[in-house]
Amino acid sequence: MEDARELDPNRWLQEHGDIMFRYAISRVRDAAAAEDLVQETFLAGIKSKERFSGRSTERTWLIGILKHKIVDYIRKDSRQTLSDDIENREQPSEEYFDRKGHWKVGPSEWLVNPQKAFERNEFWEVLHDCVEHLKDKQKQVFIKRELESLDAEEICKDLDISSSNLWVLLFRARAQLKKCMEVNWLEKT
């Protein structure tokens, strides 16, 4: 494992930037926001590098920070969108309705579907709970491979497991998550 003194922020962008950007954009679906989140992560890493314990790799530590930044971004974005929608609400006027009270021009489509926003947040909560119920090694392997996008060789090295063991653990984790999500998400929606 890496020592906190070995952390070198000067190489973070080159060594981890692409993976972190891909991770962020897969969550927020906005390139500009993903870039900002990665930059904020690097800044937070620089500010807190003395607290890096070395129990994980540098990349895992940075992606952990990025995850928190993404959660904060999604929360802020959903609150801001709702606030903007409420503030920009106009009072009905004659330009919208005819004398009989019928629409002259139909209302515009909502940019935010409250039900879908709720379901998206609920989905991530259920997935997180399902991941938390995996056996420890399965959870570690799944998070490193699927959420942190680490390659198989790096995961095997980090966890000191064989390649075949990695694929067995991933298969079992995915099967367990499928079952958990079917019960806790799909059957409830």
User: What letter would DSSP give residue 148?
Assistant: S
Residue 153: which domain range? 114-189
Global pTM reads: 0.44
174, two tokens: 């995915």
The least confident of 45-49, 53-57, 87-91 is 87-91
Would 103 be classed as within a structural domain?
A: no
Find where tokens 């080159």 sit. 14
Give dist(CA 164, CA 55) in Å, integer. 24
Percentage with pLDDT > 90 across the chain: 19
Please identify, among 70, 86, 102, the residue that sits at the C-terminal boundary of a domain.
86
Question: pLDDT digit string (tens) for 91-150?
Answer: 555 666 677 766 666 656 655 565 665 567 777 788 888 999 999 999 999 988 888 888
Would 183 be classed as within a structural domain?
A: yes
Give dist(CA 163, CA 177) in Å, integer. 21
Within this chain, do residues 125 and 61 fall inside the same structural domain, yes or no? Answer: no
Read out DSSP for 65-126? HHHHHHHHHHHHHHHHHHHHHHHTPPPP-TTTB-TTS-BSSPPPPPSS-HHHHHHHHHHHHH
Question: pLDDT digit string (tens) for 65-100?
Answer: 999 998 888 888 766 655 555 555 555 556 666 777
Would 184 be classed as within a structural domain?
A: yes
Q: What is the CATH number of the domain that holds 134?
A: 1.10.10.10
